Structure 1
Amino acid sequence: MNQSNRIFDGLGRVMNEAAGVADGVRREVETVVKSQATRIVNDMDLVKREDFDALRELVQVQGEEIEALRAQLAALAGDKSKS
């Protein structure tokens, strides 16, 4: 009986150590994958979200200004045709 307990204790220790090693390997793989993904994204030279949002706002404002200028031009063209 005592011998059987030692075997199970030893087996339990080996399983706990294996679980610890597996967790370490998992963390190491996550770190490598994250660093590779970061490197790939940086190499792609993508635009930052803040820059994209600022440019989108600028384009929207310019679009509104263009529409206002078109309306003024149409009004001026209408006045000239009445003369």
Structure 2
Amino acid sequence: MQTRNPLLNDFADLMTDAFGAAQAMGEEARAVFRARADRMVAEMDLVTREEFDAVKAALDASQGEVDALKARIEALEAAAKPKPASRAKKPAAKTSAKATPKASGKAKS
């Protein structure tokens, strides 16, 4: 047997409206929080992911170029340093130059 109690019906309607209002308030609170968070992030002047990736790629490229230039400078400095020559090596170099008679450019076939 089903009874219709007006007090229970009114209470059910009131609770349905209350849940609907609570849900709407929750959505409104989320929207307000989102707007404030967006404004705070905009005031912080943060970069976007695309800007960050572009700057990172440029940094990586310039770091590779710096490393290459460092290696080139080290090679040039090593080539520019005078090599210390000992007295024992100088006469040996002169005798080896005299020992090669093919300095005229003629080759035997």
- TM-score under structure 2 length normalisation: 0.69
Give unpaired runs (5+ residues) of structure 1: none
Q: Which residue of 1 aligns with 2:40?
A: 40
Is 1:23 matched up with 2:27? no
TM-score, normalised via structure 1 length: 0.88
State the identity as a percent.
30
Q: How many residue pairs are counted as aligned between the two chains?
A: 82
Question: What is residue 57 of structure 1 aligned with on the other side?
Answer: 57
The structure with the larger Rg is 2
Residue by residue over 1:24-56, the C-alpha shift from the partner in whole angstroms, topping out at 9 and shown as x without a partner, is: 111111111101111111111111111111111
One-letter amino acid of the structure 1 residue matched with residue 36 of structure 2: Q
Are 1:67 and 2:67 an aligned pair? yes
Structure 1 residue ranges, 4+ long, deviating more than 3 angstroms after superposition: none
Q: Which has the higher helix share?
A: 1
How far the C-alpha of 1:67 sits from its partner, in A, is 0.6
The residue aligned with 2:77 is 77
What CA distance in whole angstroms lies between the structure 2 residues aligned with 1:12 and 1:54?
58
- What is the root-mean-square deviation of aligned Cα atoms in Å? 1.7
Partner of 2:103: none
Amino acid at match of 1:17: D
Give unpaired runs (5+ residues) of structure 2: 84-109
